[in-house]
């Protein structure tokens, strides 16, 4: 590829600030912005290539993290929010005017129930955790990236020193399998 890849326009590579306790996420509307207050640092911040996570215009990847559900509160213009796909595991609450996803929540039994999915670049505060891995890299083909461009995409993550996977990170895949093993009774 001759042009630099737009992995994400605001990929956070800064170190998390000590004692950082969260901030406000704002949608992209010019006025009456939806505001979500996150009273917690973010965790597991990563680049995600899946077709469901919200990506800024032109970006190949979403930037997505989690925060405890009880720390995530809609604090302004919540009437503009609607769930994008009520049948999805993660119920992504998006602004119906600008399309920005403000938070994703899991209501059914799941390893990640209790964690809300958030896009920290919607916050003006600095200090959130940086992107520590890339997930579902191969999935960007499903949203239009040409298969022959994948080598350059993966090389970009190597350059950025960001571990990249075609599923979630080993720690999160282990969490999903641990939950499944406990649910089935294999693991006591
Ligand atoms: Zn909006
Ligand atoms: Zn995703």
pTM above 0.75, yes or no: yes
- Non-local (6+) Cβ contacts of 57 within 8 A are none
Q: How far is the CA of 85 from the centre of ligand 1 (A)?
A: 17
Sign of CA dihedral 48, 52, 57, 63: negative
Whether 91 contacts 117, CB under 8 Å: no
Whether 68 contacts 16, CB under 8 Å: no
* Active site (annotated) includes residue 167: no
Distance between CA atoms of residues 54 and 141, nearest Å: 16
Q: How far is the CA of 54 from the centre of ligand 1 (A)?
A: 13
The ligand with the least distance to the CA atom of 25 is 1
Mean pLDDT of the chain: 96
Sign of CA dihedral 122, 80, 66, 135: negative
Please state, in angstroms and as integers, the Cα–Cα distance from residue 116 to each residue in 9, 72, 79, 91, 113, following that order.
23, 7, 19, 9, 8
pLDDT of residue 3: 63
* Active site (annotated) includes residue 29: no
Please identify which of the residues 50, 95, 98, 167 carries the catalytic annotation.
50
| Share of residues in the chain with pLDDT > 90 (%) | 97
* Active site (annotated) includes residue 53: yes
Tokens found for residue 72? 């995530």
List pLDDT tens digits, range 125-141: 999 999 999 999 999 99
Distance between CA atoms of residues 47 and 45, nearest Å: 7
Whether 1 shows a pLDDT value over 60: the answer reads no
The ligand with the least distance to the CA atom of 54 is 2
Span between the terminal Cα atoms of the chain, in Å: 50
Q: How far is the CA of 182 from the centre of ligand 2 (A)?
A: 25
CA nearest to 82, candidates 65, 61, 98, 63: 98
């Amino acid at each position: 590829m001759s042009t630099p890849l737009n992995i994400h326009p605001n990929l956070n590579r800064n170190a998390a600030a000590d004692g950082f306790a969260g901030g406000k996420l704002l949608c992209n509307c010019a006025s009456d912005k939806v505001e979500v207050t996150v009273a917690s640092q973010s965790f597991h911040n990563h680049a995600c290539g899946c077709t469901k996570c919200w990506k800024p215009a032109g970006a190949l990847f979403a930037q997505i993290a989690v925060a405890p559900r009880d720390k995530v509160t809609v604090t302004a213009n919540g009437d503009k929010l609607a769930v994008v796909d009520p049948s999805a595991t993660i119920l992504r609450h998006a602004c119906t005017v600008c399309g920005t996803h403000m938070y994703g929540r899991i209501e059914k039994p799941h390893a990640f129930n209790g964690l809300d999915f958030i896009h920290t670049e919607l916050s003006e505060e600095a200090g959130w955790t940086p992107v520590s891995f890339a997930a579902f890299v191969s999935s960007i083909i499903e949203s239009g990236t040409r298969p022959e461009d994948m080598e350059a995409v993966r090389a970009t993550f190597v350059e950025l020193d960001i571990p990249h996977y075609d599923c979630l990170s080993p720690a999160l895949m282990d969490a999903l399998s641990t939950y499944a093993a406990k649910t089935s009774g294999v693991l006591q």
